[in-house]
């Protein structure tokens, strides 16, 4: 069997081996934009999350969790209600759909459309007899498309599913300020679901309507942004940067740039923001993404979100979908706290320095990961179809080169022969010992030894242990390495320690 199309093979692998299924619910035909994780996918996700949590502890972050539903006032204050509801023009004849404001801006480049009321836009359309560019039918009323999912709580209270976790974190600000005893910068992150009513979700889990976010926040003073202690430790780090000027020159390859170089030539303005870039890069690299598949792409000023002063996407190059954003690093300034302070009638001005009289609203720097995108891009970039030579033929194998801590199974244990009771019993006992040592071991005996190895290759299991006849004599087994397919013999009582040592290397 020759494996022809790598992308097809990959797409079927993630279904076949229980990584990602959908659109869910499959037995009812599916709802576009919603996917489920199978056991392997969920194991991978949990492994990623525990690495992130462990590392963020090291970087001084605390974790919070907030409700996914928030009242209307929150989104009015954050600006999402205004920005996430788009005015659209729908052609009554050909059903062509257009963003009303963008379309009108194109028609009337000299007029200020942004901020114009719907009535005024409609008047403009009427006065100038604006018609559908496709079929020339006259446009009528402006309709709304709401990118936020709306529902009701209690007796008709209109509420919204959060379109990002970040805003819900900001609502805890005065609690966090107390909790951290005003030791700025405050570092906190939140992991959880966010919801967006995409018009047409596509590209598998890359654009879902319900998706995970893992968002880190710095609450920081303006002074600290420019004189950031931790920056000194990492300023020599070299990152693949593609700023918007390079993009304007039609470049797509990033330039390896050290952070202090980026700061001194003005590509990056704030050392604290540079530190965020580093942190995003660090967390990405630690998952095993290869260096040449990563780049930071800066948003051009008109691409930026309503709250952002500077924004960079950390992107991964995939076969199927090109460069995919897995993380966004945003300088949100004091925008969010200013808005919420105003709407909630709270005073968020804090004395963050030594002078208690010098109060200011903290700045916010954000590092926002999309775990679903991490999982998809990680699987896709680490997936390989390899040629291998056996004694008799040249064969192929499918292998996921997942990091040792990420693989759903750390080790699999097999009996070389399934109908030899003594070998089977010993293999089962070894598996049991590993499980008791809380090592993620998997026992399998269904199939010839080669098939057992290949099955684990597909799941990314880094180690396989095989019990053979010699094991019965001298208390040793073979351990087979996923990437090299090499084997060596090790002592049975030392397996757990051997694996733990390998993992912590």
The yes or no reply on residue 416 touching RNA (CB under 7 A) is yes
In the numeric block, the tokens 């949100």 are attached to: 332
φ, ψ of residue 167 to 5 degrees: the values are -55, -40
- CB neighbour list of residue 165: distance below 8 Å, 6 or more residues apart: 66, 190, 191, 192, 194, 213, 215
Q: How far is the CB of 2 from RNA (least distance, A)?
A: 11
Nearer to RNA, 201 or 240 (CB): 201
203 near RNA (CB under 7 A) = yes
| Residue 95 in contact with RNA, rule: CB under 7 A | yes
**Residue nearer to RNA on the CB measure, 47 or 441:** 441
Q: How many residues bind RNA (CB under 7 A)?
A: 69
Query: What track of x and - describes contact with RNA for positions 334 through 363 (by CB under 7 A)?
Result: ------------------------------
Binding-site member from 55, 198, 261, 309 for RNA (CB under 7 A): 198
> Can residue 301 be called a binding residue for RNA (CB under 7 A)?
no
**Residue 298 Cα to chain centre, angstroms:** 17
Q: Is 11 in the site for RNA (CB under 7 A)?
A: yes
Distance (Å, rounded) from C-alpha 164 to C-alpha 328? 12
| Alpha carbon distances (Å) from 472 to 111, 317, 403, 468 | 85, 48, 32, 7
Minimal CA–CA distance to 436: which of 470, 413, 469, 453? 413
**In this structure, are residues 330 and 368 in contact, taking their beta carbons and an 8 Å threshold?**
yes
Taking the CA of residue 446 as centre, how many other CA atoms within 13 Å lie in the half-sphere pointing to its CB?
Answer: 4
225-284 binders of RNA (CB under 7 A): none
**Do the beta carbons of residue 405 and residue 502 sit within 8 Å?**
no
Q: Which of 174, 247, 258, 396 binds RNA (CB under 7 A)?
A: 396
> Counting contacts by CB under 7 A, is residue 297 touching RNA?
no
The helix-helix angle for 39-58 and 371-382 (nearest 10°) equals: 110
Interacting positions 119-178 with RNA (CB under 7 A): 147, 163-164
User: CA 27, CA 36: separation in Å to the nearest integer?
Assistant: 13
Q: Which of 138, 121, 120, 137 is nearest to 129 (CA)?
A: 138
Indicate the residue among 108 and 469 with the shorter CB distance to RNA.
Answer: 469
The residue among 352, 480, 353 whose CA lies nearest residue 416 is 480
For residue 195, what are its two tokens?
Answer: 């919801």
Q: In this chain, which stretch among 46-54, 195-203, 219-227, 346-354 interacts with RNA, using CB under 7 A?
A: 195-203
- Answer yes or no whether residue 33 interacts with RNA by CB under 7 A: yes
Confirm or reject binding of residue 97 to RNA (CB under 7 A): yes
Indicate whether 207 belongs to the interface with RNA (CB under 7 A). yes
Residue 55 interacting with RNA (CB under 7 A): no
Using the contact rule CB under 7 A, the part of the chain among 31-39, 185-193, 373-381, 495-503 near RNA is 31-39
Closer CB to RNA, 57 or 202, in the complex? 202
The minimum distance between CB 58 and RNA, in angstroms, equals 27
Residue 413 CB, nearest approach to RNA (Å) = 11
Q: Which stretch binds RNA (CB under 7 A): 223-231, 337-345, 431-439, 476-484?
A: 476-484
Q: Are strands 85-90 and 62-64 parallel, antiparallel or unpaired?
A: unpaired
Task: Report d(CA 78, CA 403) in Å as an integer.
Answer: 39
Binds RNA by CB under 7 A, chosen from 30, 38, 288, 353: 30
CA angle 458, 463, 466 (to 5 degrees): 105
Q: Which of 489, 485, 488 shows the shortest CA–CA distance to 462?
A: 485
Nearer to RNA, 27 or 155 (CB): 27
What string marks each residue from 422 to 451 as x (binds RNA by CB under 7 A) or -? ------------------------xxxxxx
Applying CB under 7 A, which of residues 458, 498, 500, 503 lies at the interface with RNA?
Answer: 458
Termini Cα distance of the chain: 37
Using CB under 7 A as the criterion, which residues of the chain lie in contact with RNA when the complex forms?
Answer: 1, 8, 11-12, 15-16, 23, 29-33, 83-84, 86, 94-99, 102, 147, 163-164, 196, 198-204, 207, 305-306, 328, 388, 390-391, 395-398, 416-419, 446-451, 453-455, 458, 466-470, 477-478, 480, 485-487
């Amino acid at each position: 069997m020759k494996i022809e199309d790598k992308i097809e093979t990959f797409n079927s692998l993630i279904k076949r081996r229980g990584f990602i299924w959908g659109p869910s619910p499959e037995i009812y035909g599916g709802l576009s934009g919603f996917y489920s994780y199978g056991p392997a996918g969920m194991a991978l996700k949990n492994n990623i999350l525990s690495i992130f949590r462990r590392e963020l502890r090291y970087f001084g972050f605390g974790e919070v969790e907030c409700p996914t539903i928030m009242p209307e006032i929150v989104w009015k204050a954050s600006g999402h209600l205004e920005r996430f509801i788009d005015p659209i023009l729908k052609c009554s004849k050909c059903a062509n759909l257009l963003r009303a404001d963008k379309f009108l801006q194109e028609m009337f480049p000299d007029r200020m459309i942004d901020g114009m009321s719907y009535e005024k836009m409609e008047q403009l359309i009427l006065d100038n007899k604006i018609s559908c560019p496709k079929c020339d039918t006259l446009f009528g009323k402006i309709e709304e498309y709401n990118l936020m999912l709306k529902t009701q709580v209690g007796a008709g209270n209109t509420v919204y599913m959060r379109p990002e976790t970040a805003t819900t974190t900001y609502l805890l600000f005065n609690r966090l300020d107390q909790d951290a005893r005003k030791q700025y910068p405050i570092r906190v992150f939140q992991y959880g679901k966010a919801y967006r009513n995409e018009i047409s979700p596509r590209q598998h889990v890359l654009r879902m309507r319900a998706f995970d976010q893992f968002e880190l926040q710095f609450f920081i003073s303006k002074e600290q942004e420019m004189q950031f202690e931790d920056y000194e430790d990492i300023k020599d780090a070299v990152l693949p940067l593609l700023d918007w000027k390079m993009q304007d020159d039609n470049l797509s390859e990033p330039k390896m740039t050290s952070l202090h170089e980026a700061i001194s030539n003005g590509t990056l303005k704030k050392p604290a923001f540079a530190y965020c870039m580093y942190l995003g890069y660090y967390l990405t690299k630690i998952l095993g993404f290869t260096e040449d598949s990563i780049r930071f792409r800066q948003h051009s000023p008109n691409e930026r979100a309503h709250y952002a002063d500077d924004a960079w996407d950390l992107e991964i190059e995939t076969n199927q979908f090109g460069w995919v954003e897995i993380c966004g690093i945003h300088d949100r300034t004091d925008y969010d706290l200013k808005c919420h302070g105003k709407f909630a009638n709270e005073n968020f001005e804090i004395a963050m320095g030594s002078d208690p009289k010098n109060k200011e609203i903290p700045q916010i720097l954000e590092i926002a990961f999309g775990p679903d995108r991490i999982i998809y891009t990680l699987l896709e970039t680490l997936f390989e179809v390899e040629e291998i030579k056996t004694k008799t033929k040249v064969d192929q194998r499918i292998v996921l080169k997942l990091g040792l801590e990420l693989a759903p199974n750390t080790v699999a244990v097999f009996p070389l022969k399934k109908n030899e009771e003594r070998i089977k019993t010993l293999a089962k006992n070894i598996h049991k010992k590993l499980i008791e040592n809380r090592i993620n071991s998997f026992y399998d005996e269904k199939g010839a030894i080669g098939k057992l190895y290949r099955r684990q290759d597909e799941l990314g299991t880094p180690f396989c242990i095989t019990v053979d006849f010699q094991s019965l004599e001298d208390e040793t087994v073979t351990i087979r390495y996923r990437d090299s397919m090499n084997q060596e013999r090790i002592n049975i009582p030392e397996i757990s320690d051997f694996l733990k040592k390998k993992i912590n290397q």
